[in-house]
C-alpha cells in the first residue's frame, strides 16, 4: 500500500493492488455466452489479451463529417465522375485535397502510436464497431498486467513506456449520466463516486496525486455518447483543461466521427488519428486465435471454422 499525503496533512492508504485487481475483473473478461456454438469446447475464462488484435491508425482523419463509405473510397484512391457523386454538395476541390491528405498518411500500428513518447495527447476517431472501447480496455488491463510475447515470455514492447503507470478509464456515458444527476461535477468526482459504488478502492485525492506526481494514462471513452451538443462541448473543454492541469498525464479520447468537432482539443495539442478496419492479415490472426481458443480439443473443427 502506498501512503499518500494530500493537502491538509491527512494520510490515506491507497491499495493500488486492489484497484488493479478490480480493473482486471471489470474490464478484461470476454463474454462468450452469445459468441460460441453450444457444442464448442469450454475454454474457461477467456480474457481480452488472449484474443485482442490491435488496429492500425491513420493520422489526420478528414476534418469534415463524411461517412465510412466515402472515407473508404478516398482511401482506395477513388474519384467520382460527373453526375455520380453522392456528396455533390461538397466542394470537389475539397474532396480531392481530403483524398490526397488522407491517403498520403501511412497507417501505423495503434500500440506503436499510443506508446510513442511524442504522443501525449491523442484523439482516436472510429466508426461504430471499429474497436475504440476494446482498445481502451486492452490498454488499461495491459498496463495493470502487461501482456507477454508467447515466444520470449517478455512483456510486449508497447508496455515499456507505461511501467508503474497509473491507468484510468473514464467511460463518458457513465460520467455524463452522473453529471446530469448532480452526483459528480468533474472527472475526479467521478473517480471518487466509482471508488465508493463500484469498489475501485480509490478516491479523488489519491487519483490527483497519481496524476500530478507520477506516470499515468487517462482514457476518456465515448465522447459521442454525450448526445447534447452543448454538453459535449463543455466536456471537451473539461478534457482540455484536465490535459493542461496534469501535464505529466498521457491522455486518449475516443469518439465516432459524426458530430465530433476537432478544434477544441486540437487547440491544446491533441493529435488526431482515424481507426482503420482490420486488414486481411489482422482478420486472419484474429480468426485463428479465436477458434484455437474456442475449440482447444477439436483442432479439425477449429480449422474448418477458420477456413469457412
CA 258 from centre of chain: 17
Q: Is the pLDDT of residue 299 over 70?
A: yes
Residue 144 has what pLDDT?
Answer: 94
Q: Pick the residue with more confidence: 277 or 167?
A: 167
Q: What local confidence, expressed as pLDDT, does residue 132 receive?
A: 95
Whole-angstrom distance, CA of residue 13 vs CA of residue 206 = 9
The three grid cell numbers given for residue 294, joined into one nine-digit string: 474456442
Q: How far apart are CA 54 and CA 124, in angstroms?
A: 13
pLDDT tens-place string over residues 262-274: 899 999 999 999 9
Other beta carbons within 10 Å of 220: 24
Phi, psi of 79 (to 5 degrees): -135, 145
Res 85: pLDDT: 53
Query: pLDDT band at 39, cuts 50/70/90?
Result: low
Residues 223-256: b if buried by 16+ CB within 10 A, e if exposed: bbbbeeeeebeebbebbbebbeebeebbbbbbbb
For residue 308, what pLDDT band results from cuts at 50, 70 and 90? confident
Question: Residues 6 or more apart from 63 whose CB is under 8 A from it?
Answer: 98, 262
Average pLDDT over every residue of 138-155: 92
Find out whether 164 and 142 touch, Cβ atoms under 8 Å: no
By CB atoms closer than 10 A (0-12, 13-18, 19+), residue 71 is buried
Q: For residue 2, what pLDDT is reported? A: 43
For the chain, list the strands marked E by DSSP: 2-6, 10-14, 56-59, 107-109, 121-125, 166-171, 216-221, 249-255, 271-275
Tell me how far the alpha carbon of residue 241 is from its chain's centroid. 20
Angle, CA 23 vertex, CA 20 and CA 29 arms, to 5°? 130
Whether 70 shows a pLDDT value over 70: the answer reads no
Q: Find all residues with CB under 8 Å of 136, minimum gap 6, and list them.
A: 169, 219, 221, 252, 254
Q: What is the pTM of this model?
A: 0.79
Q: Alpha-carbon distance 83 to 40, whole Å? A: 52
Amino acid at each position: 500500500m502506498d501512503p499518500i499525503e494530500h493537502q491538509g496533512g491527512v494520510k490515506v492508504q491507497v491499495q493500488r493492488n486492489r484497484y488493479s485487481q478490480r480493473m482486471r475483473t471489470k474490464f478484461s473478461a470476454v463474454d462468450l455466452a452469445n459468441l460460441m456454438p453450444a457444442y464448442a469446447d469450454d475454454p474457461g475464462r477467456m480474457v481480452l489479451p488472449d484474443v485482442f488484435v490491435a488496429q492500425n491508425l491513420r493520422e489526420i482523419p478528414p476534418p469534415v463529417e463524411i461517412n465510412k463509405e466515402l472515407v473508404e473510397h478516398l482511401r482506395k484512391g477513388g474519384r467520382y465522375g460527373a453526375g455520380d457523386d453522392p456528396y455533390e454538395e461538397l466542394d470537389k476541390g475539397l474532396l480531392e485535397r481530403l483524398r490526397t491528405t488522407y491517403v498520403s498518411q501511412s497507417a501505423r500500428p495503434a500500440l506503436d502510436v499510443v506508446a510513442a513518447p511524442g504522443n501525449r495527447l491523442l484523439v482516436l476517431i472510429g466508426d461504430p464497431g471499429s474497436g475504440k472501447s476494446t482498445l481502451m480496455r486492452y490498454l488499461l488491463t495491459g498496463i495493470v498486467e502487461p501482456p507477454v510475447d508467447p515466444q520470449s515470455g517478455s512483456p510486449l514492447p508497447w508496455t515499456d513506456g507505461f511501467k508503474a503507470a497509473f491507468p484510468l478509464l473514464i467511460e463518458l456515458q457513465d460520467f455524463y449520466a452522473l453529471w446530469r444527476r448532480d452526483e459528480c461535477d468533474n472527472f475526479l468526482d467521478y473517480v471518487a463516486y466509482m471508488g465508493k459504488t463500484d469498489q475501485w478502492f480509490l478516491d479523488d485525492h489519491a487519483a490527483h496525486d497519481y496524476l500530478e506526481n507520477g506516470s499515468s494514462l487517462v482514457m476518456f471513452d465515448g465522447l459521442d455518447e454525450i448526445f447534447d451538443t452543448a454538453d459535449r462541448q463543455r466536456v471537451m473543454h473539461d478534457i482540455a483543461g484536465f490535459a493542461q492541469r496534469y501535464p505529466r498525464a498521457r491522455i486518449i479520447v475516443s469518439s465516432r466521427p459524426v458530430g465530433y468537432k476537432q478544434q477544441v482539443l486540437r487547440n491544446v495539442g491533441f493529435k488526431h488519428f482515424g481507426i482503420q478496419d482490420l486488414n486481411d492479415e489482422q482478420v486472419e490472426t484474429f480468426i485463428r486465435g479465436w477458434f484455437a481458443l474456442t475449440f482447444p480439443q477439436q483442432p479439425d473443427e477449429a480449422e474448418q471454422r477458420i477456413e469457412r
